[in-house]
Amino acid sequence: MTSPQIERERGRKEAGQQLEVLRERWPLAFPGQAQDVRPLAMGVANQIAETMGWSLSYSVGVLTYWKMSAVYCRAVLAHDQRITLDGMPVEAVHEGAKDLATKQLIRLGLRERREADLARQGEALGTLFSDRIADMIPSGEPLVQPVVRTLGTKGEHQVTLPDQSQAAHGGEGQAALNQIDDTRD
């Protein structure tokens, strides 16, 4: 017997595939175009689980992936009424749901910004330094993010990491890793 948490996680992992199945079965509830997405009625996880022969936990995992997406959150904010799986309007979208959608969109925006910042730092570090930093991080230890500072107008960068010995003991010391003269024009 599989635990509900394992089933829910499996549903999240397989959600991309299963959303296509749900889209075929209920095209109005799971449309392909962003402008057609509407908030789903409360309790659709039970109906999906029963109809598809899935466990409720698995169904919740698949729906979590869908409901936490930016397109679904925007639909919650843009529309005042929920729909059934067949596209029929049912109940109002409550303010609490709109608040949760707003918070999720903020989280998604912050994640996107953080990923873009890390990509820019990786580009500034270059492959050689990125690989050296990755090799310095012992497995099982928290990831220490490098700090990249542009020093001048010629594209020079200073890369620093928190001092590993001090970081392990909660220190905030910085050790200069390298100074890169990036004079690419």
* Domain boundaries 4-93, CATH class: mainly alpha
Residues 53 and 37: their CA atoms lie apart, in Å, by 24
Task: Provide the pLDDT for residue 19.
Answer: 95
- CATH 1.10.1710.10 intervals, the chain: 4-93
Task: Provide the pLDDT for residue 119.
Answer: 79
For 56-96, the pLDDT digits (tens) are 999 999 999 999 999 999 999 999 999 999 999 999 999 99
Name the CA dihedral angle for 22, 61, 104, 27, rounded to a multiple of 10 degrees.
Answer: 10
Task: Provide the pLDDT for residue 151.
Answer: 59
In this structure, the chain runs to a length of 185
Task: Provide the pLDDT for residue 117.
Answer: 80
Task: Provide the pLDDT for residue 112.
Answer: 86
Task: Provide the pLDDT for residue 141.
Answer: 47
29: tokens are 């509830």
The residues of the chain scoring below 70 in pLDDT are 1, 123-185
Give the residue among 150, 168, 170 at the shortest CA–CA distance from 160.
150
3-state secondary structure the chain: CCCHHHHHHHHHHCHHHHHHHHHHHCCCCCCCCHHHCCCECCCHHHHHHHHHCCCHHHHHHHHHHHHCCHHHHHHHHHCCEEECCCCCEEEECCHHHHHHHHHHHHHHHHHHHHHHHHHHHHHHHHHHHHHHHHHHCCCCCCCCCCEEEECCCCCEEEEEEECHHHHHCCCCCEEEEEEEECCCC
pTM here is 0.63
For all residues of the chain together, what is the average pLDDT?
78
